[in-house]
Amino acid sequence: MIITFKIKRYNPEKQGEAYFEDFKLDVQEDLTLLDCMNEIKWTLDGSLTYRMSCRSAICGSCAVKANGHATLACQRQATHLVKGDTIVLEPLGNMKPIKDLAVDFEPFWEKINKVSPYLQPKQKAPEKERVQSPEQFSLIDDSSTCIMCGSCHSDCNVLEVDEDFLGPAALAKAQRFVQDSRDGKTLERVKNLSKPGGIWDCTHCGECVERCPKPARPFDRIKEIMTVALEQGVTNNNGARHALSFTKSVKSSGRLNENIIPVESVGFFNFRGLFDLLPVGLRMLFKGKNPPVFHKSIDEVEDVKRIYMELDE
């Protein structure tokens, strides 16, 4: 099968702007995307630059964007990625290109380091290993599979508009220690992760789960940190208050009270926050978009409240 690889090239030493270059390759069905990239480099253009190492989906080095989304090049068959007769390759998103498909990972590692990705034990080191039950390990098993490939970071919608957001990879790594039974800094960790740029700035788009090549599923790990933060009483922030108000509204009435949730989210005594809501509320009012004060009846609304009561029990 003849496939055209449309590769985004960038070499700041020769020209300031990136450009696309096409390479045609006869691809067998058993070849991975990385096999094809290697074939292009070894036989067509030795200057093509990208990262690779293990070729076994272990090291995470070869992540690139294929047809607009991050993927691990050694893990995907090239023929599965073809659109028409073309595969478009670009460097990972939300990171600065260095040359061709290689990007600068330094900001990525800075975010990882911000979550203190190491065990801070409750007690001094014992003579033997720190014992952990299978049930305790199961809480951190999925996050421990992360290979730091940067795929989730690349396609995170929040990072596109807010470089201060820690990002899904860093937060997944944080969950690895937040829920580690041997760690003694759980409260301190969730307090830091609840600050602006942390767990509550996630928009729940789920892109990180779609792009993760392992069972790490960063969004699920972020939700688990949110749960721990609420259980630890770290609720003095807009995100936690919003979650609690949302739950309270549905639990009590079986529906969302969209008039009160914004107020409870910013805090009744947060006068500056309430004042900031005023322009939005007025625009909604003038456009006829404000929620009704008295809602229409909803079928089986009592069943919704019953579900919440059973969950509480």
Dump pLDDT digits (tens) for 169-178: 999 999 999 9
Query: How far, in Å, CA of 127 to CA of 14, rounded?
Result: 58
How does DSSP assign 97-118, residue by residue? EEETTEE--HHHHHHHHHT--S
Domain topology for 2-103 = Ubiquitin-like (UB roll) (3.10.20)
The pLDDT assigned to 273 comes to 72
Q: What is the pLDDT of residues 246-293, one digit of tens each?
A: 888 888 887 778 888 888 888 877 777 777 777 877 888 788 877 777
The answer to whether the CB of 212 falls within 8 A of the CB of 153 is no
Residue 273's contacts (CB-CB under 8 Å, 6 or more residues apart) are 238, 266, 267
Each domain of the chain, given as residue ranges in start order, spans 2-103, 106-231, 238-312
Is the domain spanning 106-231 CATH 1.10.1740.10? The answer is no
123 half-sphere exposure, CB direction, 13 A CA radius? 9
The pLDDT assigned to 311 comes to 80
In this predicted structure, which of 73-82, 179-188, 245-254 has the lowest mean pLDDT?
245-254
Q: What is the mean pLDDT of the chain?
A: 92
Task: Please choose, from the candidates 268, 137, 130, 121, the residue with its C-alpha nearest in 3D space to the C-alpha of residue 185.
Answer: 121
Q: Tell me the pLDDT band of 95, cut-offs 50, 70 and 90.
A: very high
Q: What is the pLDDT of residues 83-94, one digit of tens each?
A: 999 999 999 999
The proportion of the chain whose per-residue pLDDT surpasses 90, expressed as a percent, equals 73
The pLDDT assigned to 163 comes to 94
Task: Please choose, from the candidates 199, 248, 206, the residue with its C-alpha nearest in 3D space to the C-alpha of residue 226.
Answer: 199
pTM over 0.85: yes
Greater pLDDT, 115 or 294: 115
- Ordered alpha helix ranges (H), the chain: 33-43, 106-114, 134-141, 151-155, 157-161, 168-178, 186-193, 207-211, 218-231, 238-253, 261-266, 271-286, 301-312
Q: What is the pLDDT of residues 211-245, one digit of tens each?
A: 999 999 999 999 999 999 999 999 999 999 999 99
The proportion of the chain whose per-residue pLDDT surpasses 70, expressed as a percent, equals 100
The pLDDT assigned to 297 comes to 75
Greater pLDDT, 68 or 310: 68
Q: Tell me the pLDDT band of 15, cut-offs 50, 70 and 90.
A: confident
The pLDDT assigned to 123 comes to 80
